[in-house]
Structure 1
């Protein structure tokens, strides 16, 4: 090596450049190794087909033999739900709705067939605002009583105006932690509220320390830079999620408006409908094992998903959720389209509880509360 090369190799800037290149290479290799390959929705549907056809979770198998009040209540709800499924399946065939009825008519069709027949065995609570943004939660006081350090995962909610659910959850328990995941979250300063500029009534100093924001997609393998639920829970040291919330804040816009908004906002609109692939991915990952969360709060925006073009496709997706042990206990249509736009409702909000595993909502060994 020449004397000039030796002097360059010892120069601080040269060493810093080498260090940067080395760290960049390591980061790239890590990302390439940790990020799973993209999958199409049809792949996920196929991967969960055997689970829905062979798993006994589709039937009534909740706490067999138990004689406590909670167990008997759950068993009664399951019997009613299974009876409703039989009626639904027969009605879907008789009316010719499946398999090929266009899903573009979903505003007046699906909710006549897919209904929250299962009953939450505890009081229902409104968390967040009484208007758009608030959600209905099953047995919230019982959940917080059994686990004061509750864990909430919030997916795809890049909006300050729609974060009232997360704010209210943090206010109701001084130790709850919210882990938020959004692939296209806009950059923010260290002092800003995780979803942008905070409303005046949000104490960001007190609440912001318990919000952990992640700029990647969780459990949605149809997009780049995604991570599986199991891997993220392992990294964060979580064995259980008390509430999993899947909600995208952007509403349906006309093609005229889409052409005039930013590329960032347009990308957010394209991600609407990712709840279908996300939930199938989680079900496929856990197979016949109980899902790792107590309840699911999900926003369904079917008109914005290319994966839902017929009622038959939605029927298949819904059955996957049922056979994974999820039971709908609450449903409401978004009224913003009706009240503000004078349009048919284009968004629906659902609450499901997990009837498998052992957790506060179905565990009758816990003290009765409330």
Structure 2
């Protein structure tokens, strides 16, 4: 057999090997932590956030105008006007649109239909070493949590639900080590005595138990208890001026048996704490199976926290990182 080209020209082997290795090196992203996070630096981010704040301030003025038009006071407004003349053209949700623009990509994570949630800027935590996610209300459906695990390198998820014993089957076995589940509930006060069943804890207590000071993504679906729970959580932060301990909030609101005035007061408390809605959708699955109620009582909202220094509204800072556009210059 005649010698092949590789045998007759060994230098070709070396050249091809070098070319292949160079191509592989150029096409493979460098995985050092700070280097990969530098791509998060966005000099236009502060101005985008500020523009969104201005747009939302306009919405606040428009809301007051709508209240005067159909009220003229909050106490005289129905959540869902009755089907009688003059048929005012609104529902409660029209007073609270998701008018804040997320300054990053907006993505639905989890199942279509019930179970999925809208998230602002998941890319901002895709490689964050200390990414923390809390999820309250599992109900054996964990497609949202599973997709967070699939799309991030380090996010750890703490799940809580006293009605089930674990996350749902969607959690990949290979990523289950990044999940932590406890069969307790979220409430406005701790109820963990020997006769308390189910046991309930405040968010502050659970964060202390886990050694956390900040949560990147917080999901809450607790069947109407969100009003008491968030009121207790938010008021100390509002009175002290401290930013909330989470970056964004995915919340299902159950407006059962509320008055417009009560809901407005609660919603304005969320706004005072720095929460701005960037996405909303009605829960039409619930509506489909509760046609006798005739009113869309459930709505999904996603909020961004615009106070403080969370990664969704500010770029991360690295000590001595001269590549950051605002880092001190070297003399």
Superposition TM-score, scaled by structure 2 size: 0.71
Q: d(CA) in 2 for partners of 1:338 and 1:232?
A: 33
Q: Does the 8 Å CA contact 1:151/1:176 hold for their aligned counterparts?
A: yes
CA displacement at 1:208 relative to structure 2: 2.7
Out of 342, 352, 365, which is 2:303 matched to? 352
Structure 1, residues 322-344: CA drift from partner, whole Å, max 9, x if none?
A: 00000010111122145566665
Structure 1, residues 175-231: CA drift from partner, whole Å, max 9, x if none?
A: 21111122x334x4xxxxx135x25xx43x323322211222234339763323223
CA displacement at 1:114 relative to structure 2: 0.6
For residues 341 and 320 of structure 1, do their structure 2 counterparts lie closer, same or farther at Cα, with a shift above 3 Å needed?
closer
Q: d(CA) in 2 for partners of 1:218 and 1:100?
A: 33
Structure 1, residues 313-363: CA drift from partner, whole Å, max 9, x if none?
A: 000000000000000101111221455666654321111000011111111
Residues 264-343 of structure 1: matches in 2 within 5 Å? 272-286=223-237, 287=239, 288-303=241-256, 306=257, 308=258, 310-337=259-286
Q: Does the 8 Å CA contact 1:178/1:212 hold for their aligned counterparts?
A: yes
Q: Does the 8 Å CA contact 1:122/1:139 hold for their aligned counterparts?
A: yes
Out of 148, 165, 189, which is 1:169 matched to? 148
- How large is the Cα RMSD of the aligned pairs? 2.7
- For residue 314 of structure 2, give the secondary structure of its aligned residue in structure 1: coil
For residues 156 and 220 of structure 1, do their structure 2 counterparts lie closer, same or farther at Cα, with a shift above 3 Å needed?
farther
Unmatched segments (≥5 aa) in structure 1: 1-66, 189-193, 249-271
- For residue 283 of structure 1, give the secondary structure of its aligned residue in structure 2: helix
Q: Does the 8 Å CA contact 1:128/1:168 hold for their aligned counterparts?
A: yes
Q: Does the 8 Å CA contact 1:219/1:282 hold for their aligned counterparts?
A: no
Q: Does the 8 Å CA contact 1:221/1:277 hold for their aligned counterparts?
A: no
For residues 152 and 229 of structure 1, do their structure 2 counterparts lie closer, same or farther at Cα, with a shift above 3 Å needed?
same
Q: d(CA) in 1 for partners of 2:266 and 2:60?
A: 14
Residues 60-139 of structure 1: matches in 2 within 5 Å? 68-96=43-71, 98-103=74-79, 109-139=91-121
Q: d(CA) in 1 for partners of 2:314 and 2:144?
A: 25
Out of 131, 141, 150, which is 1:150 matched to? 131
Which residue is equivalent to 1:217? 185
Higher relative contact order (CA 8 A, sep 6+): 1
- For residue 245 of structure 1, give the secondary structure of its aligned residue in structure 2: strand
Structure 1, residues 78-128: CA drift from partner, whole Å, max 9, x if none?
A: 111111101101221231161243446599511111111110000101111
Q: Does the 8 Å CA contact 2:253/2:299 hold for their aligned counterparts?
A: yes
State how many pairs are aligned. Answer: 261
